[in-house]
C-alpha cells in the first residue's frame, strides 16, 4: 500500500504545506490505489480521474500562493456517494433508471467541501437509491468488504465506507436514512457520523425518505471526521429543513476534550439495545468499551428507551411511504431512462419496470399501500404517532439521565454476500440499533471498538442530543485514542492478503 494513501488528513496537510509531496502526487497515489483495488471491491461506480487531476493542479497553485492560509481540505482526495448530485459527473444512485444522468448543478455539501479545497476522486457504489443494508442491491453489482471480500461492507453507503477502509480515499461522504453511514462504518472498521437532522443541507441529495435522510462524513479517525463535518455543516437557504444553528469548531472541541478526558460526562446505556440474537462478540466488545469509557472518567447510567422494539416496524412504514412519493418523479419524461411505448401509461410502466430493481419496487409498493385510502390511518398515521413516542423516549433520557448514549451499531459483524438475500426481514433487522436515531432526528456516530474471532470489525455507537455533535466527537476521539484498533495496519494487511 502506498504510504501516501495511509496518511491521516493532518499528515497529508502537513506534507503538502512542507512540499514533501504535491497535491497531484497525493491524488495520483489515490487514483492508483483505486485502479488497483476497484475490480475486487467494486466500491466506485465512476472514477473522475481527469477532473481530479485538474483540481489537484489547481490545489497546488492555491498552496503555492496561500500556504497555510489555503483552505483546510486543499488537495485532499474525497470520495462521494453516488446519491449526491455532482455537476459534470454522472449521478446514478446505483440505478439503471438514472444511468447516464449528468447533473447541471452541485449538491450543497459537495460544493462546500470543494470550496475548502477537496478533490473529488469519484462517485461510490451504494444500494440502489440507498435502499439496503448490505450494498448488494446496486444495479452495478455488490461492493465487497476490504476486510473479507466474501462479505458485505454494510449499506447503503458501502462504497464510501469500503473506499475509506481500503485507502482509496482518506475521506468520503455518505447518506444515512436508517443507519447507512454508521452500519457500514462499523462493518468496515472506520469512523462514520450521521449529523442531527438539519445540521447539513440535503440540497442535492437525491431524495429517498425526506424526513430521515441526512448527509454525513466517513474517515479513518475522529480528528479527520471533524474536518470534513466542519466543511459541510451549516444553514442552507436552498434547503428549508436545514437549521440556522451555530456550527462549533469541531476540531477545537476535540482538543478541549483531550484535556478534560470524559470527566463529569454521564453516558447512558440503554437496556433495550442488548437483545436476544445479538452476536456475543458484538455484545462483549461493546461491554468492554463501556469499561474503557469509565476509565476515561465517564459515569455509566442505565437508561430505558421503552419503544425501541417498535422502531423497525415504524421505520419500515414511514421509509417506504416517503420513498413511494419521492420516486414517483422517475417516469421517463424529464430525465434518465425512457422506454419507448405506444401510450403514456405503457411508457411509465415499461420505464419503471426496467429501471428499478427488486428492492426499490418492493418499497414503492409497500409505501403506496400504506398511503392508500383505507389504510392511511391504520399504518402511516399510527407510525407517525409511534415515532413521537420514540422521540420522547430520547428526550426523557437526555433530560433526566445522561449527556450521551453508548450502544452497539449493528447486531452482527459483516455477513457473507448472499447470506440474507432471500430474507428481506432479516436484512431490515440489521437497522435495529440505528433507525431509532433517524426517527428521532438525533446525531449518531460509529467508532471501531474491537473485532470478532474472524478479525471482523465491530463498532461502538455514540448517540447525542440535537446539534451536539461536539460531544460525540469528544467521546469518540477520547475512546479512539485508547483503542488498540489500527486501521492503517489493517489497510496494509489487506494489500498483502487480498492482493489488492
Among candidate residues 70, 156, 410, 451, the one labeled active-site is 156
Q: Which of 283, 248, 264, 256 has the alpha carbon at shortest distance from 409?
A: 283
| Length of the chain measured in residues | 500
Cβ pair 430, 153 in contact under 8 A: no
**Which cell goes with 308?**
425501541
The yes-or-no answer on residue 489 being catalytic is no
Residues forming a β-bridge with 448: 459
The yes-or-no answer on residue 354 being catalytic is no
Among candidate residues 48, 157, 180, 186, the one labeled active-site is 180
φ, ψ for residue 266, nearest 5 deg? -95, 120
For the chain, how are helix, strand and coil distributed in percent, rounded to 5? Answer: 45, 15, 40
CA–CA gap between residue 384 and residue 401 (Å, rounded): 26
Which residues fall within 8 angstroms of residue 317, CB to CB, at 6 or more apart?
Answer: 366, 370, 379, 380, 382, 383
Cβ pair 351, 97 in contact under 8 A: yes
State the residue for C-alpha cell 479517525: 221
Cβ pair 93, 34 in contact under 8 A: no
Beta-sheet strand order (sheet of 404-408): 44-47, 119-124, 77-81, 171-175, 215-219, 191-194, 444-451, 457-463, 404-408, 266-270, 299-303
The yes-or-no answer on residue 285 being catalytic is no
Alpha helices in 192-310 (DSSP H): 222-232, 250-260, 280-295
Q: Which of 111, 93, 89 has the alpha carbon at shortest distance from 102?
A: 89
**Which cell goes with 60?**
497546488
Among candidate residues 22, 43, 70, 81, the one labeled active-site is 81
**How far, rounded to the nearest angstrom, does the alpha carbon of residue 12 sit from its chain's CA centroid?**
23
Q: Which residues are catalytic?
A: 81, 156, 180
Amino acid at each position: 500500500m502506498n504510504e501516501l494513501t495511509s496518511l491521516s488528513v493532518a499528515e497529508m496537510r502537513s506534507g503538502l504545506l512542507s512540499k514533501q509531496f504535491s497535491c497531484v502526487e497525493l491524488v495520483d497515489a489515490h487514483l492508483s490505489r483505486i485502479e488497483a483495488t476497484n475490480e475486487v471491491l467494486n466500491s466506485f461506480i465512476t472514477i473522475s480521474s481527469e477532473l481530479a487531476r485538474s483540481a489537484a493542479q489547481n490545489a497546488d497553485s492555491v498552496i503555492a500562493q496561500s500556504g497555510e492560509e489555503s483552505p483546510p481540505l486543499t488537495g485532499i482526495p474525497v470520495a462521494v456517494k453516488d446519491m449526491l448530485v455532482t455537476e459534470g459527473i454522472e449521478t446514478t444512485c446505483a440505478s439503471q433508471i438514472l444511468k447516464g444522468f449528468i447533473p447541471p448543478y452541485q449538491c450543497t455539501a459537495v460544493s462546500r467541501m470543494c470550496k475548502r479545497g477537496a478533490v473529488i476522486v469519484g462517485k461510490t457504489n451504494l444500494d440502489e437509491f440507498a435502499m439496503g443494508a448490505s450494498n448488494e442491491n446496486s444495479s452495478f453489482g455488490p461492493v465487497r468488504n476490504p476486510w473479507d471480500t466474501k462479505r458485505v461492507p454494510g449499506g447503503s453507503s458501502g462504497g464510501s465506507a469500503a473506499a475509506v477502509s481500503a485507502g482509496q480515499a482518506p475521506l468520503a461522504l455518505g447518506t444515512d436514512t436508517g443507519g447507512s453511514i454508521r452500519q457500514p462504518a462499523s462493518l468496515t472498521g472506520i469512523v462514520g457520523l450521521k449529523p442531527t437532522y438539519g445540521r447539513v443541507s440535503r440540497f442535492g441529495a437525491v431524495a429517498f425518505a425526506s424526513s430521515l435522510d441526512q448527509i454525513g462524513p466517513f474517515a479513518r479517525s475522529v480528528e479527520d471526521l471533524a474536518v470534513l463535518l466542519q466543511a459541510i455543516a451549516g444553514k442552507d437557504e436552498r434547503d428549508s429543513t436545514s437549521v440556522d444553528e451555530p456550527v462549533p469548531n469541531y476540531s477545537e472541541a476535540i482538543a478541549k476534550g483531550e484535556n478534560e478526558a470524559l470527566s463529569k460526562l454521564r453516558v447512558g446505556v440503554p437496556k433495550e439495545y442488548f437483545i436476544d440474537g445479538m452476536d456475543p462478540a458484538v455484545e462483549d466488545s461493546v461491554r468492554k468499551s463501556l469499561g474503557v469509557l469509565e476509565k476515561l472518567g465517564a459515569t455509566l447510567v442505565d437508561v430505558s428507551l421503552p419503544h425501541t422494539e417498535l422502531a423497525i416496524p415504524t421505520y419500515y412504514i414511514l421509509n417506504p411511504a416517503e420513498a413511494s412519493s419521492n420516486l414517483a418523479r422517475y417516469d421517463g419524461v424529464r430525465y434518465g431512462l425512457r422506454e419507448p411505448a405506444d401510450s403514456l401509461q405503457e411508457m411509465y410502466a415499461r420505464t419503471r419496470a426496467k429501471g428499478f430493481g427488486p428492492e426499490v419496487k418492493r418499497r414503492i409498493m409497500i409505501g403506496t399501500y400504506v398511503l392508500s385510502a383505507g389504510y392511511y390511518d391504520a399504518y402511516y398515521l399510527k407510525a407517525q404517532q409511534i415515532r413521537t413516542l420514540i422521540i420522547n423516549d430520547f428526550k426523557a433520557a437526555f433530560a433526566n439521565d445522561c449527556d450521551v448514549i453508548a450502544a452497539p451499531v449493528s447486531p452482527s459483524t459483516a455477513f457473507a454476500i448472499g447470506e440474507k438475500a432471500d430474507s428481506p426481514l432479516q436484512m431490515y433487522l440489521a437497522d435495529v440499533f440505528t433507525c431509532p436515531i433517524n426517527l428521532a432526528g438525533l446525531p449518531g456516530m460509529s467508532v471501531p471498538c474491537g473485532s470478532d474471532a474472524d478479525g471482523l470489525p465491530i463498532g461502538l455507537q455514540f448517540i447525542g442530543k440535537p446539534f451536539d455533535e461536539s460531544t460525540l466527537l469528544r467521546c469518540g476521539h477520547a475512546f479512539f485514542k485508547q483503542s488498540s484498533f489500527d486501521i492503517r495496519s489493517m489497510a496494509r494487511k489487506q494489500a498483502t492478503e487480498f492482493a489488492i
